[in-house]
């Protein structure tokens, strides 16, 4: 057997829906506990690269999924904009006796 499924140990063939673990490079049938829906699997084959880490390689963290879909974008992400808003010199906090005591 060239590629046994990580989960069921049956052969993974080229005609079956399967994913390769990005860590151990072993194969798993999509329907053997990957939590990858048919729709997500089909879309990943058409448009993007599917990143998958099997349950033996991922550290269990609650019910967090071990599947991610990474899209390839031609556009750069939008630039972050930093705005500085000046604070008035006289505020209500200036009149607070507790804060006034701390500043001495």
Residue range 68-97, pLDDT digits in tens? 544 444 444 444 444 444 444 444 444 555
CA distance 8 to 86: 63
Q: Which CATH class is domain 1-72?
A: alpha beta
Helix (H, G, I), strand (E, B) or coil at 39: helix
What's the pLDDT tens digit per position in 43-71?
888 876 778 888 888 765 444 444 554 44
pLDDT, position 72: 43
CA distance 34 to 29: 8
The domain segmentation of the chain, as residue ranges, is: 1-72
């Amino acid at each position: 057997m060239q590629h046994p499924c990580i989960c069921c140990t049956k052969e993974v063939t080229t005609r079956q829906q399967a994913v390769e673990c990005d860590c151990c490079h072993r194969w798993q049938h999509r329907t053997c506990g990957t939590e990858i829906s048919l729709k997500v699997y089909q879309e990943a084959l058409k448009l993007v690269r599917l990143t998958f880490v099997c349950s033996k390689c991922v550290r269990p963290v609650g019910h967090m999924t071990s599947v991610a879909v990474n899209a390839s974008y031609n556009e750069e992400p939008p630039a972050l904009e930093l705005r500085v808003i000046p604070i008035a010199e006289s505020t209500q906090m200036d009149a607070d006796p507790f804060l006034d005591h701390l500043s001495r």
